[in-house]
Amino acid sequence: MGKEKAVVVRQFNKDNPAEALDVVKRDVPEPKAGEALVRVLMRPINPSDIFCIQGIYGGWHPKLPAIPGLEGLGVIEKIGPQPTPPSTETARKLKEGQRVVAVPWPSAEGEGTWQQYVAVPIENLVPVRDEVSNEDAAQYLVNPVTALGFFEDLKIPKCKYLLQNAANSVLGKEVILLAKKRGVKTINVVRRDEVINELKSIGADEVINSKTENIVARVKEITGNEGAWAAINPIGGPASRPFFSAVRNSGLVYIYSMYGDEVYVPIADLLWRDVTVRGFWLNVWLSRLPKDVKEQKLQEVMDLMADGIIKPPPARAKYPLDDVKKAVEDAQSKSGSAGKVLLEG
């Protein structure tokens, strides 16, 4: 089928990830039995993509050179031979020319989305609804599906509180939107006063500035001394400590992302208040779901996006694949609260 452009990592580079990348020409893959060839149109640069290029992401250890990219949007170019019908109803309805996302893309094997064509198991594909723009659909997996996973696992009752750190991140804002839909209240921790009004405008119930306020004292005040039902926190180090003391007795704290090497857990909260700490990684959560339940949950996320309940912020910049080094440098230059940098073409 000719040649394609692909971004490859030849050697991990922790200090300067942009320098780990080269744009190469290679043969367009041919879809095997049970696969579809997807022409990728757009992909965001997520912190997890940067971690992959740095060589510190626990879920990405392909043989190098490898192609990064954990999510994106594409169009089915060609469907490979199907010796047996796909096992899911969604996969059986897919056709050439249809917009799709994948859950997951074959990124773990080094065939990520930072290339023009990817051969994907057809049962991994999710059709994109007409109401969802290309830009939003490209950001379907890493944040919106994670947000749903939090609520599915934590089972927070209506009118109880979820406490979250880094609330002004893209994921944090989507958590606020989904909580509002589900009738769950949120206590949102930030580090700057100037983002407080923005979060309240999208439905945040309470916002705490950790630079000027005591997190534990404020949460107890807000909840009538009960504590938050559960907490989610992407940041390690000393900043992680208050979240264990701020949840209810027998509460749960999820640690996600990789900002920091250690989590500080007060022993008193573990021993005498039965507080639990767990890691949350999207791939593990998805792998635990029965196939029919997984299909249902992925469709639910697509419906939430189509209905405008979950909506990623506008991209702050777009670059062609040829300018991937500039794009990665741009993605690293701003805080997580800004819109994503997208790679096109």
CATH number at residue 117: 3.90.180.10
pLDDT at position 275 over 90: yes
Residues 26-47: tens digit of each pLDDT:
999 999 999 999 999 999 999 9
**Does the residue 9 lie in any domain?**
yes
Residues 63-72: tens digit of each pLDDT:
999 999 999 9
Same structural domain, 16 and 100: yes
Same structural domain, 168 and 238: yes
What is the average pLDDT across 245-272?
92
What is the average pLDDT across 297-315?
96
Q: How far is CA 137 from CA 38, 67, 75, 142, 312, in A?
A: 14, 21, 12, 11, 9
Same structural domain, 84 and 119: yes
Q: How far is CA 224 from CA 208, 216, 217, 321, in A?
A: 16, 12, 11, 52
**Does the residue 223 lie in any domain?**
yes
What is the average pLDDT across 166-175?
95
**Does the residue 289 lie in any domain?**
no
**Does the residue 287 lie in any domain?**
no
**Does the residue 50 lie in any domain?**
yes
- Domain range for residue 90? 3-139+312-344
pLDDT at position 335 over 70: no
Same structural domain, 9 and 96: yes
pLDDT at position 259 over 80: no
| Average model confidence (pLDDT) across the chain | 95
Residues 73-108: tens digit of each pLDDT:
999 999 999 878 777 777 788 999 999 999 999 999
pLDDT at position 113 over 70: yes
How many structural domains comprise the chain?
2
What is the average pLDDT across 197-221?
97
Same structural domain, 168 and 241: yes
Same structural domain, 274 and 323: no
pLDDT at position 265 over 80: yes
Residue 3 near residue 28, CB atoms below 8 Å: yes
Same structural domain, 243 and 152: yes
**Does the residue 318 lie in any domain?**
yes
Count, residues in the chain: 345
With pLDDT > 90 as the criterion, what percentage of the chain qualifies? Answer: 90
**Does the residue 73 lie in any domain?**
yes
Same structural domain, 231 and 266: yes
pLDDT at 1: 67
Quick check: bond before 127 cis, omega within 30? Answer: no
Question: How many angstroms separate the CA atoms of 299 and 286, rounded?
Answer: 13
Going by pLDDT thresholds of 50, 70 and 90, the confidence category of residue 345 is very high
CATH assignment of the domain containing 231: 3.40.50.720
Same structural domain, 237 and 321: no
- The DSSP letter of residue 224 is T
Same structural domain, 153 and 46: no
Same structural domain, 94 and 193: no
**Does the residue 168 lie in any domain?**
yes
Going by pLDDT thresholds of 50, 70 and 90, the confidence category of residue 336 is low
pLDDT at 338: 74
pLDDT at position 301 over 90: yes
- The DSSP letter of residue 142 is I
pLDDT at 326: 97
Same structural domain, 278 and 153: yes
Going by pLDDT thresholds of 50, 70 and 90, the confidence category of residue 229 is very high
pLDDT at 58: 86
Contacts of 321 (CB under 8 A, 6+ apart): 5, 7, 23, 114, 115, 116, 343, 344, 345
